[in-house]
Amino acid sequence: MTEIRQKTVLITGASSGMGKAAAAMLADKGFRVILLCKNKERGEKAQAELKQKNQRRELELALCDLGSMKDIRRFTDEWNKRGEVLDVLINNAGVISLNRRETEDGLEEQFGVNHIGHFLLTLRLLDTMKRGSRIVVVASGAHRIGKIHFSNFNLTYGFHVIKAYSQSKLANVLFTRELARRLKNQGITVNCCHPGAVATSMGIDRESGFGKSITSLLKPFFLTPEEGAQTTVFLATSPAVQKVTGKYYYKEAKEKTSRLAKSKSLAEKLFVLSENITDERLINHLPIEQ
Tens-place pLDDT, residues 162-204: 999 999 999 999 999 999 999 999 999 999 999 876 554 444 3
| Cβ within 8 Å of residue 59, ≥6 positions away | 23, 27, 33, 35, 47, 50, 51
Domain count, the chain: 1
- Specify if 209 maps to a domain: no
Among the options 165, 248, 249, 250, which is catalytic?
165
- Specify if 3 maps to a domain: no
d(CA 70, CA 66): 9
Whether residue 179 contacts residue 122, with contact meaning beta carbons closer than 8 Å, is answered with yes
Nearest to 233 by CA among 106, 100, 92: 92
Please say if 248 is a catalytic residue: no
Torsion sign (Cα): 201, 126, 189, 143:
positive
Put residue 208 in one of left, alpha, beta given phi > 0 → left and psi -120 to 50 → alpha: alpha
- Specify if 15 maps to a domain: yes
- Specify if 255 maps to a domain: yes
- Specify if 288 maps to a domain: no
Q: Which DSSP symbol is given to 183? A: T
- Specify if 207 maps to a domain: no
CATH code, 69? 3.40.50.720
**Per DSSP, what are the bridge partners of residue 89?**
10, 135
Enumerate residue ranges in the chain where pLDDT < 50: 1, 200-221, 290
- Specify if 175 maps to a domain: yes
pLDDT of res. 289: 52
Q: Which DSSP symbol is given to 246? A: S
Element (H, E) at 203: none
Domain that holds residue 73: 8-195+228-281
Torsion sign (Cα): 88, 90, 176, 256:
positive
- Specify if 256 maps to a domain: yes
Hey, which bits of the chain come out as E strands?
A: 8-12, 32-37, 58-63, 88-91, 134-138, 189-193, 248-250, 253-254
